[in-house]
Amino acid sequence: MTARTVSSFAFAALLTLAGASAFAQHGPAPAPKPAPAPAAPEAAVDPATGALVETAPAGSSKDAKIEHIVTEDSQVRIDETRVRGITRRIVVHSKITGDSYEIQPRDPSRAPDEDHGAGQRLFSFGF
């Protein structure tokens, strides 16, 4: 071999080693963190009743847990709103006539024999 061939071979070997050490210092680039998704209500099925339960996303404050439960069959759709596990509002929408009415839930702060409005239907007329 000639001196020129040996020096070319040595230069190529040194260049390869230098490139490998440069890549070893940096390593693979870290994957970018995905942007946080906007907070949306989560939907789940309540195992006890089988109803669809939507819960508001957890916030940093100590707000009340609000659940929106929707139950429906071929004739009616029932929307129930619970705050801290206590039913606050029940609205029944008829699929047949298109009318809706609200059922007044029991007030937990009153004794059952004093809460005369519990279970009563409340109709609202649009005038």
Residue 126, pLDDT > 60, answer: no
82 membership: H or E segment, kind and range: strand 76-83
Q: Could you give the CA distance from residue 36 to residue 31 in angstroms, rounded to a whole number? A: 15
At residue 80, the pLDDT reads 94
Q: What is the pLDDT of residues 33-70, one digit of tens each?
A: 676 655 555 666 776 777 777 666 665 556 778 999 99
| pTM for the whole structure | 0.47
